[in-house]
Structure 1
């Protein structure tokens, strides 16, 4: 397809597509002559991913470029490739290691991972942004005096494991390695907000069932 058709099918303007091409977010099309290139379904799929990350996920262009670099790195095994792509997304800053609540949260999360039998997650605690986010959240709850018990946290973790199984089962329905990693990235950018919305809707529903609307 030519640039105009790519624009029409994707809903992205030709000017924006040209910008993405200049920024290296899309691979160049197959050159037909000095002024015309041809694009295929791979370009359309990648364009939709880029657009979702930038427009919906509000991910900066430089970060999108870094994420896509890992998506396309077929020298990596699937787990490392997935991790590298997801870790390139915006993350929470490193917490203060001297903070007593942060130290306690580190110990608590390590105990949680051990109790769950998540040995692979335990191996990544020093580098995983997800683990850092968990520590920051647990430390904040403790600092604010909320009695969020380890048992309750474990119940939530088990629910999240069920969600992770669904995530990877869906990811594995896509044929290529690049598509699988793209689906994981879209999950972080789009599905996580969807799950958060479902969680809040479920809270509203349960609140209404228990307490009515008075």
Structure 2
């Protein structure tokens, strides 16, 4: 397909596609003349992912480029590619090791992960996962403000996230090839986070109505 059809199929303007090509977010098409190229279904799929990252997820171009580089790294297996790509997504602030609550928060996080049997966040015994850092930062804030944040308090949330992860990867496995699955996993990580947040708030509102609402 030519550029105009690629734009129609993907819902991305031709000017934006050209920008993505210049920035290395989309691989070039097959050159057919000095000024024209031909594109295929892989370009359509990649544009959907780039659009999810940049236009929906508001991820900076530099971060999106890092994510896409991880997805193209054929030296990694699908699990490693997914992990590297997700780690490259923007995350919240890293833990402040000068925070007096930091060490206690890290111990709480480690206790929680041990109870769950989760090891990925602390690969090679080093808490390198950005998600692990986010967890420690969140626990620090909860503790500092006097809210419940023990491993026992957090475990029910973690168990709910285990079930969510199963649902996530069930969706991913609907895609045919490993490349499609890894790309879909990254896109769904970005696109489903607002869905999860909104559903949690709606569920809390419903539970509040049931418990505290007037008859």
What's the TM-score bracket when you normalise by the shorter of the two chains?
over 0.9
- CA contact 1:114–1:122 (8 Å) conserved in 2: no
| CA displacement at 1:19 relative to structure 2 | 0.7
Counterpart Cα distance in 2 of 1:176 and 1:48: 16
User: In 2, distance between residues paired with 1:179 and 1:88?
Assistant: 18
* Cα distance in 2 for residues equivalent to 1:3 and 1:17: 8
Aligned position for 1:145? 146
Distance 1:190 1:157 in 2: 20
8 A contact 2:108–2:150 mirrored in 1: no
1:38 aligns with 2:38: yes
Aligned-partner SS, 2:34 = coil
Number of residue pairs aligned between Structure 1 and Structure 2: 214
Q: 2:3 and 2:13 mapped to 1: Cα distance? A: 9
Inter-partner Cα distance in structure 2 for 1:84 and 1:59: 16
Give me the whole-angstrom Cα distance separating, in 2, the residues matched to 1:145 and 1:45.
46
Q: How does 1:1-214 map to 2 (within 5 A)?
A: 1-123=1-123, 125-212=126-213
Structure 2 residue runs without a partner (length 5+): none
Select between 2-11 and 143-152 the one with higher mean Cα deviation: 143-152
1:75 Cα offset (Å): 1.1
What's the TM-score, normalizing by structure 2? 0.93
Q: CA 1:94 to 1:148, structure 2 compared with 1: closer, same or farther past 3 Å? A: closer
What do you get for the CA RMSD once the two structures are aligned?
1.6
Task: Give the whole-Å Cα distance in 1 for the aligned partners of 2:136 and 2:206.
Answer: 30
C-alpha distance in 2, partners of 1:188/1:141? 25
SS in 2 for 1:100: coil
Structure 1 residue ranges without an equivalent (≥5): none
* Alpha-carbon separation, structure 2, partners of 1:114 and 1:52: 34
- Offset, 1:26: 0.7
Q: Please, what TM-score do these two structures have when normalized by structure 1?
A: 0.94
CA distance in 2 between counterparts of 1:126 and 1:163 reads 23
Shift of 1:213: 6.2
Q: Per-residue CA shift, 1:64-115, capped at 9, x if unaligned?
A: 1110000111210222211110111112233222322111010011111111
